[in-house]
A and B are shown apart, each in its own frame.
Chain A
């Protein structure tokens, strides 16, 4: 009955005469509910598959949430749970051209990356097409600013990949062909980025901690400034947190 209570609270907060969310969120909720029934899942099962709270899912399905209450990550989790690529969903809960983009939130010591919809398109594809040669070989992330003790660095060309070496974007096609020969498992992922001093762009040998979902990894950049976080599970979707632990000098 948690849903009834939460929905009642929501209507109370909206005041008399309130309608439900935006037309887009209402339509998206209908779509998710239909796809769930088509897959013979009840709300609890889908919520469990997608790692969401069942009451939240019911509120979403019934169009009781606004677009700002539905992060792109939630849409991605639902798409994976329902076996649909993001680009294969006929509609999204956002107004057209107002879809959430990557957001980077930098504070002293910690940098948060909330992946936007365009980043999550490749993320979902990589998860659903794990064994397919058409799956993207790398998921590109935006440049990140890192701060600690008044100093600043950049982590550039960041990307997640299932290859044990960084993949320059110009080489993606070759990697696709190589992977097309098959045989490689896609359950182990790496995150690579090049760390550099913000002012001089010289490689920075800093130690950085990455938290992704429930996973935590630490990497020390070498002389080339390459940060390498190994053994990541891509299915553990969540915002990425970077923290500088140590910086020489």
Chain B
């Protein structure tokens, strides 16, 4: 068995602040954080590795902003705090947005109540409808991006960050109805992604949503309620 290389975190933290950290620094950080993240998130390897890379990136961004001071805390202390926050964010997110794989079938889910084996025709029609919805959204979204480019605003991306989980699920019903916002990423999160203030993110987001509705109406007709093609 090989023992872990000994590392002086005090010296390594100073080296990190001066952009000359050693390779061992990253190896040791990963070795230290991996069990912590695994305990917090459970045995989901994909998410654990994601949290690790997000943590490293956050550390590097902190340093790039000049926000890291080795006098105040050593690198592992900051890294641990960041990793724990990231785990919490993930857990909060997975609670609000439970995802399901399109590849795997849950054996405990039981048979589909309506149509256990949809016919080929039905599947083709559903797939075509889904593609049509995606393309329609993309057309309207691109037009909004084009307008943003002309006016120097960020309405399209504010809408994307705010509604991205619904967009990725092909659920565009947010264009026609105001559902409770509890499950949406907060404006603070949107602002952090866009690099603007929370207020600016909120303004861009609501203006973007209005503009998208208008663009959709111009291209594809009136937005209607229950029979809307915007639902998955």
Residues of A at the B interface (CB closer than 8 Å) are: 1, 3-5, 7-8, 11-12, 14, 16-20, 23-24, 26-27, 30-31, 33-45, 58, 62, 64, 83, 85, 87-91, 95-97, 132, 134
Contact B168 A35 (CB under 8 A): yes
The A contact surface, by secondary structure, is helix
How far apart are A157's CB and chain B's nearest CB, in angstroms? 28
| A-B complex: 10 closest residue pairs judged by Cβ atoms | A42-B46, A88-B134, A4-B26, A1-B26, A4-B56, A96-B145, A40-B101, A96-B146, A11-B60, A18-B64
Q: B171 at the A/B interface (Cβ < 8 Å)?
A: no
Q: B201 at the A/B interface (Cβ < 8 Å)?
A: no
Contact flags B17-59 to A (C-beta < 8 A → 1, else 0): 0010101001101100000000000000111011001101100
By beta carbon, the residue of chain B nearest A19 is B195
- Given A26-B193, A42-B49, A87-B134, A34-B26 contact (CB < 8 Å): no
Contact A90 B124 (CB under 8 A): no
Contact A88 B146 (CB under 8 A): no
Most buried by A among B53, B56, B61, B149: B53
Extra A-B contacts (16), CB below 8 Å, given A42-B46, A89-B134? A16-B66, A18-B64, A33-B50, A37-B47, A38-B102, A39-B101, A39-B103, A40-B46, A45-B46, A83-B102, A85-B134, A87-B134, A87-B135, A88-B135, A91-B156, A91-B160
Contact B160 A90 (CB under 8 A): yes
By beta carbon, the residue of chain A nearest B46 is A42
Contact B137 A58 (CB under 8 A): no
Residues of B at the A interface (CB closer than 8 Å) are: 19, 21, 23, 26-27, 29-30, 45-47, 49-50, 53-54, 56-57, 60-61, 63-66, 99, 101-104, 124, 128, 131, 134-135, 137-138, 141-142, 145-146, 149, 154, 156-157, 160-161, 164-165, 167-168, 193-195
Q: Please, which residues of chain B bring their CB within 8 A of the CB of A38?
A: 99, 101-102, 168
How far apart are B185's CB and chain A's nearest CB, in angstroms? 10
Q: Please, which residues of chain A bring their CB within 8 A of the CB of B145?
A: 91, 96
By beta carbon, the residue of chain A nearest B124 is A132
Contact B60 A97 (CB under 8 A): no
A34: contacting residue among B60, B124, B128, B165, CB under 8 A? B165
How far apart are A222's CB and chain B's nearest CB, in angstroms? 40
B149: contacting residue among A16, A91, A95, CB under 8 A? A95
The B contact surface, by secondary structure, is helix
Q: Please, which residues of chain B bring their CB within 8 A of the CB of A45?
A: 46
Contact B26 A5 (CB under 8 A): yes
Contact B19 A12 (CB under 8 A): yes
Q: Please, which residues of chain A bring their CB within 8 A of the CB of B124?
A: 132
How long is the Cα–Cα vector from A14 to B61 in the complex, in angstroms?
Answer: 11
Most buried by A among B64, B149, B160: B64
How long is the Cα–Cα vector from A96 to B164 in the complex, in angstroms?
Answer: 19
How far apart are B66's CB and chain A's nearest CB, in angstroms? 6
Q: Please, which residues of chain A bring their CB within 8 A of the CB of B156?
A: 91
Contact B30 A90 (CB under 8 A): no
Q: Please, which residues of chain A bring their CB within 8 A of the CB of B63?
A: 11
How long is the Cα–Cα vector from A19 to B194 in the complex, in angstroms?
Answer: 11
Contact A17 B64 (CB under 8 A): yes
B53: contacting residue among A12, A18, A39, A62, CB under 8 A? A62
Contact B128 A134 (CB under 8 A): yes
Contact A8 B193 (CB under 8 A): no
Q: Please, which residues of chain A bring their CB within 8 A of the CB of B135?
A: 87-88
Q: Please, which residues of chain B bring their CB within 8 A of the CB of A4?
A: 26, 29-30, 53, 56, 60
How long is the Cα–Cα vector from A106 to B101 in the complex, in angstroms?
Answer: 45
- Given A11-B64, A23-B154, A89-B138, A1-B23 contact (CB < 8 Å): yes
By beta carbon, the residue of chain B nearest A14 is B64
